[in-house]
Amino acid sequence: MNNFNKGLTLNIDNIAEGIFAVDKEMTIHRFNVAAHNITGWQAQEVIGHKCYDIFQSPNCGEACPLRETLEKNAASYKKVLVKNKDGRLIPLTVSTMSLKNKENSIIGGLVIFYNQTQVNPSSFGKFNELGLIGSSSVMMEVFQLVETVANTDCHVIITGPTGTGKNVMARVIHKLSRRKNNPFVEVNCAALSDTLLESELFGHERGAFTGAIAKRIGRFEAADGGTIFLDEIGEICTNFQAKLLRVVEQGEFERVGSSKTIKVNVRLIAATNKDLNRLVKEGRFREDLYYRLNVFAIDLPPLATRKSDIKPLVEYFISEFNKIYENPKVRISDRAMALLYKYNYPGNIRV
């Protein structure tokens, strides 16, 4: 550590951006005040530790921009996810560069990072094209989260009132991910009884129960290599939650009526309009399952808090209906639009 710091003549304490410096073995040697403010970690807690042990980012490994800089001596600029001190993944924009001593030899790397708070609305047109409509500042922040998490394999939990578009959000995450060419499988947990839910998700063997006249693969098996979306996950019973936890943790299960273990590689996106944290405290939702699912959370705001999105939403729906009914002349009057803006949307979009 001393040799590294002797070769590093750099004052980072008064710089507004978060900055930390590592040696070639990824050990942290410097960590400024702004880095603490963003991540929650104190300098004394991280110095001397490997950066990947502290931040536990899905980008660690082959996708690590810092590793790429050290190996290729080339600066990089990327959006990444890192864990803060509270264990929550947060989106950051990072720039990396190599650090050299007086002999021009690489001795480590420098990471400059900041929260993704500055938004360029024009860069998010792709979300509108995918059906996730909005141009308000709160939706811009949501789009940032989606763009950052989509290309990782993190499990995601989407929260928000009924009608906010949680299923649309799940599909967008899948379409922007590396799994986009593999299956996207959607299951509404609230629409199935506990017995049927197990068979639906894990499949069953012939004769496993009355009416099981043939073997049937489950939704997890069908989603192998892709994404499974479990909507209304707050509705599943605690007994089944234990079985679901095993799939989330180990990626394996057995069909109903079988002892053969099936392994799958599935990204799980869950959604709920319930307060899962409250359900955990009430003993109605397993804490360990909640911890596994809540790797990255996206909260979709109700329409009442983003009324500037009413106009683009109305225009989108009119355009879609015009395509269906082949009637491009349909428009909305200024008076009708004014009424939509005045409404308080107590039931969100669904009234």
pLDDT tens per residue, range 225-283: 999 999 999 999 988 999 999 999 999 999 988 889 999 999 999 999 999 999 999 99
Beta-sheet strand order (sheet of 89-100) = 28-31, 18-23, 106-115, 89-100, 76-83
Say what the pLDDT of residue 44 is: 95
Say what the pLDDT of residue 91 is: 83
Selection from 234, 77, 252, 57 nearest residue 151 by Cα: 57
In sequence order, what are the residues at sequence separation of 6 or more whose Cβ sits closer than 8 angstroms to the Cβ of residue 74?
A: 68
Q: Are strands 184-188 and 203-204 parallel, antiparallel or unpaired?
A: unpaired
Mean pLDDT for 132-153 is 84
Mean pLDDT for 187-212 is 86
DSSP string, 178-224: TTTTS-EEEEEGGGS-HHHHHHHHHEE-TTSSTT--S-EE-HHHHTT
Q: CATH: 3.40.30.10, 1.10.10.10, 3.30.420.40, 3.40.50.300. Which one for 121-300?
A: 3.40.50.300
Say what the pLDDT of residue 8 is: 54
Map out the domains of the chain as residue ranges.
2-115, 121-300, 304-342
Report percent pLDDT > 90 for the chain. Answer: 44
Q: Which of 51-60, 93-102, 320-329 is predicted least confidently? A: 320-329
Burial class (CB in 10 A: 0-12, 13-18, 19+), 95: middle
The CA radius of gyration of the chain, in Å to the nearest whole number, is 24
Which single residue is written with the structure tokens 């080339």? Answer: 74
Say what the pLDDT of residue 228 is: 97
CATH class name, domain 2-115 = alpha beta
Judged against a pLDDT cut of 60, whether residue 9 lies above it is answered with no
Say what the pLDDT of residue 119 is: 46
Say what the pLDDT of residue 351 is: 42
213 C-beta neighbours (distance < 10 Å), count: 8
288 C-beta neighbours (distance < 10 Å), count: 13
Our measurement of the distance from residue 12's CA atom to the centroid of its chain's CA atoms, rounded to an integer in Å, reads 31
Selection from 120, 119, 142, 175 nearest residue 309 by Cα: 142
Cα–Cα distances (Å) from 211 to 167, 204, 215, in that order, read 31, 11, 11
In sequence order, what are the residues at sequence separation of 6 or more whose Cβ sits closer than 8 angstroms to the Cβ of residue 39?
A: 18, 55, 82, 84, 85, 90
Mean pLDDT for 137-155 is 85
Mean pLDDT for 132-161 is 86
Say what the pLDDT of residue 244 is: 93
The two tokens of residue 117 are 């708070």
- Give the three-class secondary structure for 176: coil
Our measurement of the distance from residue 339's CA atom to the centroid of its chain's CA atoms, rounded to an integer in Å, reads 35
CB 305 within 8 A of CB 279: no
330-333: list long-range contacts, CB under 8 Å, 24+ apart. none
The two tokens of residue 28 are 């942290």
- Give the three-class secondary structure for 125: helix
Q: Which of 129-138, 181-190, 217-226, 337-346 is predicted least confidently? A: 129-138
